[in-house]
A and B are shown apart, each in its own frame.
Chain A
């Protein structure tokens, strides 16, 4: 494995983690918001 292959892999992996994490947290936030809205509606 060369230096540049290594750099590309770690960059792609990092971006993947950031995007996946944001997606997970965004889903969780939306879920909480829905639950809050539902609770308030009750």
Chain B
């Protein structure tokens, strides 16, 4: 039997190579195992992490502006924490004290930018206070924990009279307060931020709250353990009822020691509302017991923002091990049932594991890290490796029977006959993935390099080590090999193939695929770039994150910042009335957009100060008319603040400031519209002495990413298909071969895009690589089938017979590999990370559609159009048939 695509000479070389690999099995296997061991060692050094900068198109002008000003005006990594009361407003001593302490704790979370925290409890949130003698002074809203009802009432008055606070940091119904904190991008540690916010910022004040302020960590001694000492006990609370007093130290809960406030809060939270607990209270030297009933929560704390979102993603990332385990067991059972032999279950696992070590070790070796959002990708590559191994194993059994149970001959024949389609499949996958590098986003480029290497590493196990592994394994029992050819699965494949290749079956196949392509093309018009919903698509709609996000959006109108920088051409540009009035006009203009909640700029401070300066007359809520008056107004507000505090409003030379718009959501089409409106305004309102620069904040960088994706999506698809076409061209030495293989793949692409549009999944930096990988992986099924058709036509010379034979042999193995791949990727549907679940499901659909297309449409197209690159191989059969006839004639 000859190779489907290789010439006789190539074929001989492959048989020779197979023989030599077995002859030199010891040095080859030792070398591969040593290198694999090294990669395995590096694999276990690997960490999950996300570098925010890697997710951005760094060459995009928006991102460059974002990078330039994120440290001063605020970046995209904001956390919004909302404290909402269940009854009444926030202006009572107990609630305000907790807001103050929550802000204090937030300021201590790792990676927070201490100068970019907005909260009525933070020192940088100031109001203008009129003093006797006509003095005005900007003071923090809260300088400490309020102690009396008068303190609380005073804070309420301040809030209601300060335009930059009321509605922005305290809701208009007085029932919620917002703590907004910006995190330094280079110091983001999502796991740590997530746990610190849960344990230190939320638990002690929400479900671990007993009605008393407990001493927290000393910021000057962050490593010192500070015991849970009671600072203040509020009247009418569970703590007061339990008899707790200031200076008491709580040392245990229900007999279990608690070292500090965090452990105390965790123990109270665990007991739950209504539970009766016994606190061990140290008073002086004696330890007494105090019975306390855990109170119902009187406030709810909601937290949103990118660092929080990624925190949830990391918290759910361990799902991968559960899915891995279930997939492994399922795949082993499926393979065992198919091959009736443990070798059939084990051999593909070896390929998958070796390739995984090579791939993951390489990730560590080149200094990359794994993002939890792309964990589906390694899974898919491993599934692909396993698929190639299943093909090889099936062929080995087939050749074992064909070569009269001679193990060595069967190993070499399987290796030589499948070498070309396997290598072509691996190369199309690897180079197909490499086109992702076109998108100028570091994460995608890293991913392209890693995925491409990983896929290429499949060759080590599948082509280099494979004959040796078979040689080491005991040959299967002939019964086992023959059992594959019996049973319902084989019968089903035979029956379906007969139907598909009948006249009626061919017509139905063509019509069905045409209908599917037209329907898909119609539905895929709804596909959008960016996120299609206001909720984060990374986690499920009913996840705690999306619930929090929706609550905060409802209360405050919009929390996702778009920062437009007003860059002055010279110092003091921000003292020019014309510039400031244009900034104000910009705010009013964009606030008319339904998806902009509110805006903030230096102008709001100016107007507020001007009103206070003019005895609270609202008519003075305007930008002063002269640069001198403006400078004076700035002086009034900023003279008590250090430059690090004022930097969040304006640079220290007063050259550059910003207008920040808070968007209600980050839907892809809304972002595009908002940016377009900004550009229109900037074009129509040129400023003398300053220029508006787009754009920082989450909305700004998402706009940049969406623009890059839109610009490159078509090009990537084109090059993806182009690369595959070129490899197919060289494999089959035919211009037409690519059309027969890419046609079905193109329809699969349409179908998957339609599914994404219908399910509301947008193209973003997370979905794009998986979609591109799908294009490459879908081709493999067709390669195996077409190669087998060529192989068979060289023997029989009859096209229809060759197609039938290919479908019931290689097609059967293809159908089984497709079942395995679909099953393993579909299991991701159970992930708590919605993105992984959707991507797993989508890839499962993709694999299924391209498999069905390869099994039905490709053979029918070949049967109808009888392509030359296949038909020319029939000559081999004719020549082979003529030779014995001529020999016989000569003999007679």
Asked whether, in the complex, the Cβ of B341 is within 8 Å of the Cβ of A21, the reply is yes
Q: Which of B322, B324, B328, B342 contacts A21 (CB 8 A)?
A: B342
| Minimum CB distance partner of B344 in chain A | A21
Give the shortest distance, in Å, between A18 (CB) and chain B (any CB). 5
Asked whether, in the complex, the Cβ of B477 is within 8 Å of the Cβ of A21, the reply is no
Asked whether, in the complex, the Cβ of A10 is within 8 Å of the Cβ of B342, the reply is no
Most buried by B among A5, A6, A13, A28: A6
Asked whether, in the complex, the Cβ of B346 is within 8 Å of the Cβ of A18, the reply is yes
Asked whether, in the complex, the Cβ of B322 is within 8 Å of the Cβ of A1, the reply is yes
Q: In the complex, which residues of chain A have a beta carbon less than 8 angstroms from the beta carbon of B321?
A: 1-3, 5-6
**Given the contacts A10-B329, A14-B332, A29 and B342 also touching, CB distance less than 8 Å:** no
**Given the contacts A17-B336, A21-B336, A21-B342, A10 and B325 also touching, CB distance less than 8 Å:** yes
| Minimum CB distance partner of B480 in chain A | A25
Asked whether, in the complex, the Cβ of B342 is within 8 Å of the Cβ of A18, the reply is yes
Give the shortest distance, in Å, between A13 (CB) and chain B (any CB). 6
Q: In the complex, which residues of chain B have a beta carbon less than 8 angstroms from the beta carbon of A14?
A: 332, 345-346, 349
Complex Cα–Cα for A9 and B330 (A): 13
Asked whether, in the complex, the Cβ of A1 is within 8 Å of the Cβ of B318, the reply is yes
Secondary structure at chain B's binding surface: helix, strand, loop or mixed?
helix
Q: In the complex, which residues of chain A have a beta carbon less than 8 angstroms from the beta carbon of B223?
A: none
Q: In the complex, which residues of chain B have a beta carbon less than 8 angstroms from the beta carbon of A13?
A: 328-329, 332
Q: Does B479 contact A (CB under 8 A)?
A: yes
Q: Does A36 contact B (CB under 8 A)?
A: no
| Minimum CB distance partner of A20 in chain B | B342
**Given the contacts A2-B318, A17-B345, A29 and B477 also touching, CB distance less than 8 Å:** yes
Q: In the complex, which residues of chain B have a beta carbon less than 8 angstroms from the beta carbon of A1?
A: 318, 321-322, 325
Q: Does A22 contact B (CB under 8 A)?
A: yes
Q: In the complex, which residues of chain A have a beta carbon less than 8 angstroms from the beta carbon of B325?
A: 1, 6, 9-10
Chain B contact-residue range equals: 10 to 19
Complex Cα–Cα for A38 and B480 (A): 23
Q: In the complex, which residues of chain A have a beta carbon less than 8 angstroms from the beta carbon of B322?
A: 1, 6
Complex Cα–Cα for A13 and B331 (A): 12
Q: Which of B318, B324, B332 contacts A17 (CB 8 A)?
A: B332
Which chain A residues in 13-33 approach chain B with CB under 8 Å?
13-14, 17-18, 21-22, 25, 28-29
Q: In the complex, which residues of chain A have a beta carbon less than 8 angstroms from the beta carbon of B477?
A: 25, 29
Give the shortest distance, in Å, between A34 (CB) and chain B (any CB). 15
Complex Cα–Cα for A3 and B318 (A): 8
Q: In the complex, which residues of chain A have a beta carbon less than 8 angstroms from the beta carbon of B328?
A: 10, 13
Q: In the complex, which residues of chain B have a beta carbon less than 8 angstroms from the beta carbon of A3?
A: 321
The number of residues on chain A lying at the interface, defined by a beta carbon within 8 Å of a beta carbon of chain B, is: 16
Secondary structure at chain A's binding surface: helix, strand, loop or mixed?
helix
Give the shortest distance, in Å, between A25 (CB) and chain B (any CB). 6
Q: In the complex, which residues of chain A have a beta carbon less than 8 angstroms from the beta carbon of B332?
A: 13-14, 17
Complex Cα–Cα for A22 and B324 (A): 26
Give the shortest distance, in Å, between A4 (CB) and chain B (any CB). 9
Give the shortest distance, in Å, between B588 (CB) and chain A (any CB). 54
Complex Cα–Cα for A5 and B479 (A): 36
Give the shortest distance, in Å, between A1 (CB) and chain B (any CB). 5
Q: In the complex, which residues of chain B have a beta carbon less than 8 angstroms from the beta carbon of A9?
A: 325, 329
Which chain B residues in 329-360 approach chain A with CB under 8 Å?
329, 332, 336, 341-342, 345-346, 349
Complex Cα–Cα for A37 and B155 (A): 100
Q: In the complex, which residues of chain B have a beta carbon less than 8 angstroms from the beta carbon of A29?
A: 477
Complex Cα–Cα for A33 and B424 (A): 45
Give the shortest distance, in Å, between B354 (CB) and chain A (any CB). 15
- Interface code B302-338, partner A: CB below 8 Å = 1, 0 otherwise? 0000000000000000100110110011001000100
Most buried by A among B318, B342, B345: B342
- Interface code B285-310, partner A: CB below 8 Å = 1, 0 otherwise? 00000000000000000000000000
Complex Cα–Cα for A29 and B341 (A): 14
Give the shortest distance, in Å, between B240 (CB) and chain A (any CB). 43
Give the shortest distance, in Å, between A24 (CB) and chain B (any CB). 9
Give the shortest distance, in Å, between B127 (CB) and chain A (any CB). 51
Q: In the complex, which residues of chain B have a beta carbon less than 8 angstroms from the beta carbon of A10?
A: 324-325, 328-329
Q: In the complex, which residues of chain A have a beta carbon less than 8 angstroms from the beta carbon of B346?
A: 14, 18
Complex Cα–Cα for A14 and B343 (A): 11
Complex Cα–Cα for A14 and B332 (A): 8
Asked whether, in the complex, the Cβ of B341 is within 8 Å of the Cβ of A28, the reply is no
Q: In the complex, which residues of chain B have a beta carbon less than 8 angstroms from the beta carbon of A6?
A: 321-322, 324-325
Q: In the complex, which residues of chain A have a beta carbon less than 8 angstroms from the beta carbon of B318?
A: 1-2
Give the shortest distance, in Å, between A6 (CB) and chain B (any CB). 4
Complex Cα–Cα for A42 and B304 (A): 83
| Minimum CB distance partner of B322 in chain A | A1
Q: In the complex, which residues of chain B have a beta carbon less than 8 angstroms from the beta carbon of A17?
A: 332, 336, 342, 345
Give the shortest distance, in Å, between A36 (CB) and chain B (any CB). 13
Complex Cα–Cα for A13 and B341 (A): 15
Complex Cα–Cα for A36 and B558 (A): 82
- Interface code B460-492, partner A: CB below 8 Å = 1, 0 otherwise? 000000000000000001011000000000000
| Minimum CB distance partner of A29 in chain B | B477
Asked whether, in the complex, the Cβ of A28 is within 8 Å of the Cβ of B479, the reply is yes
| Minimum CB distance partner of B324 in chain A | A6
Q: In the complex, which residues of chain B have a beta carbon less than 8 angstroms from the beta carbon of A25?
A: 341, 477, 480
Complex Cα–Cα for A29 and B322 (A): 37
Asked whether, in the complex, the Cβ of A22 is within 8 Å of the Cβ of B342, the reply is yes
Q: In the complex, which residues of chain B have a beta carbon less than 8 angstroms from the beta carbon of A2?
A: 318, 321
Give the shortest distance, in Å, between B135 (CB) and chain A (any CB). 62
Given contacts A17-B342, A17-B345, 11 further A-B contacts (CB under 8 A): A1-B321, A1-B325, A3-B321, A9-B325, A9-B329, A13-B329, A14-B346, A17-B332, A21-B342, A22-B342, A25-B480
Q: List 21 A-B contacts (CB under 8 A).
A: A1-B321, A1-B325, A2-B321, A5-B321, A9-B329, A10-B325, A10-B328, A10-B329, A13-B329, A14-B345, A14-B346, A14-B349, A17-B336, A17-B342, A17-B345, A21-B342, A22-B342, A25-B341, A25-B477, A28-B479, A29-B477
Closest 6 CB pairs of A and B: A6-B321, A21-B342, A1-B321, A18-B342, A1-B322, A6-B325
